[in-house]
Structure 1
């Protein structure tokens, strides 16, 4: 039976290769792909991930090849990402504790979540959370995405997360227990050594001037990233888990089932290959 995979993509700028790597692997395996964005808007690739020869400041080398830049542009200019599934329309929003009907609201909330898991998520075989700086804004602390991740964990289905997308795994937790899902796990992700000191940018269909051309001029620079992901991951895994950055190694992909974590751009193709191995060969441990 053909497998079905969800691809979760930020609306504030994804890194092209971090979509293309897993996507090509899933396409080659004949999987059905469903793209999901927070509000159902077409996602925008970060311009530098389409620009061959772009030099990554911390690494001091080019990270966008001619081939990957062209592939990212082709996918973006096609109609493939035009109508993604809306996470906001799919999953309910958790009630505020200040609601006068909070207990009844939460009962209804969990009934809806349980129904989605039992009737809809069972039809999917894996999830990919695409990386890029946009994940800092609308994926990392997205409670709807956290519930989607929790649903996959309950169903024991694999979740692949790349770069800043790994933050979603650190923040996803049962709202009643508030303990990270990756507690005790081995994960990789964007290490502090690779964080920008300046130039963390975001791009998308949002516009200050009301147009559809991005942030007025199509790009906004927030300097360094909002948070040091490595430190968050080290805390989230606890004393029995481990953050493994593999700094100095060209790639870093770990499997500590059900989680597949990928460090950054150069690891994207490997991440896709390993995801297929998890689905086809039952791989449960890799890279540690």
Structure 2
């Protein structure tokens, strides 16, 4: 049976190669890629990610080859990204404690949420694509958190790339609030890769300057004393497999992340990179 991968994208801009890498790998493997966004709006690539002449400020060089730029642009402009699944329509929104008749509403919420475990049986893995956009609408998206928890309960692999790793740190059971990556080994956007200025997004005329939080610090805290964050600064590739999580640091890790997910699904890989 053809494997089906659910790929979540920000509506505020994804990095071209961080989508292209996994999708090209899945296409080659014959997998089906299904796309989702927070509200069902079509995702778009961040313009710098499609420009091979763009110099990444922290690295002082281009991170996009001409070949990747062409392929990422073709994917971004293709019909494949049209009509994504809407997380807002699929997954219920937790009511405020202050809402009238809260008890009945939270019962209805939990009843509707229980359908998610059945819904995700059709998928073999979850991928959360990086770029600056996830800072805005994925990192603290409770619907995405519930989706991640459903994949975790189902013991299905979960991939996070760059800032797409942030939701893994924040997705927590409502009762114990414990990090799901506690005791795990992960990588993700490192402090050395932070912009000092120019963190931008699709659809808003706003330069945030530096990112609003240093993801590395969050990941170091979330993994706890028995886990570890691996920045692998100075190494060209940083991909960590600590099942069920596959985490990738940044752009050059996009193709390897897709390849490692294939190894997880086809060969039973459970640990890699640490």
TM value normalised by structure 1 = 0.93
Q: How does 1:270-285 map to 2 (within 5 A)?
A: 270-285=256-271
Q: How many residues align?
A: 274
CA drift at 1:113? 1.3
Shift of 1:100: 2.6
Q: Does 1:224 align with 2:210?
A: yes
Q: Determine the structure 1 residue equivalent to 2:39.
A: 39
Q: Which of residues 244, 250, 255 in structure 2 aligns to 1:264?
A: 250
Distance, in Å, in 2 between the alignment partners of 1:99 and 1:77 is 42
Partner of 2:58: 58
Do the aligned residues in 2 keep the contact of 1:133 with 1:201 (CA within 8 Å)?
Answer: yes
Matches of 1:184 and 1:103, distance apart in 2? 34
Show CA shifts across 1:160-202 (max 9, x none): 0000010000000001111111011100001101111011110
Counterpart position of 2:148: 149
Q: Secondary structure at the match of 2:7?
A: strand
1:241 aligns with 2:255: no
User: 1:19 corresponds to which residue?
Assistant: 19
Q: Distance in 2 between matches of 1:121 and 1:24?
A: 23
Q: Which residue of 2 is the match for residue 75 of structure 1?
A: 75
Structure 2 counterpart of 1:170:
169
Which secondary structure state, in structure 2, belongs to the residue aligned with residue 98 of structure 1?
Answer: coil
Q: Offset at 1:103?
A: 2.1
Q: Deviations over 1:79-135 (max 9, x none)?
A: 1111111000000000111123222222221111111212x1111100110000000
Pairwise CA RMSD: 0.9
Q: Is the 8 A contact 2:187 2:247 kept in 1?
A: yes
Give the match for residue 49 of structure 1. Answer: 49
Cα distance in 2, alignment partners of residues 142 and 82 from structure 1: 21
Partner residue in 2 for 1:208: none
SS at match of 1:220: coil
Cα distance in 1 for residues equivalent to 2:65 and 2:198: 20
Deviation at 1:233, TM superposition (A): 0.4
**1 CA distance for matches of 2:160 and 2:115?**
25
Per the alignment, residue 160 of structure 2 pairs with 161
| Aligned match of 1:97 | 97
In 1, Cα distance between equivalents of 2:219 and 2:131? 17
Q: Secondary structure at the match of 2:247?
A: strand
The runs of 4+ residues in structure 1 deviating greater than 3 Å are none
Instruction: Give TM-score scaled by structure 2 length.
Output: 0.98
Question: What is the CA–CA distance in structure 2 between the aligned matches of 1:113 and 1:256, rounded to whole Å?
Answer: 27
Q: Supply the distance in 2 between the matched residues of 1:115 and 1:39 (Cα, whole angstroms).
A: 19
Q: Deviations over 1:53-102 (max 9, x none)?
A: 21111111110110111111111221111111100000000011112322
Structure 2 counterpart of 1:212: none
Distance 1:282 1:231 in 2: 30
Equivalent-residue separation in structure 2 for 1:65 and 1:203 (angstroms): 22
Cα pair 1:203 1:220 within 8 Å, conserved: no
Q: Please state whether the residue corresponding to 2:81 is helix, strand or coil.
A: coil
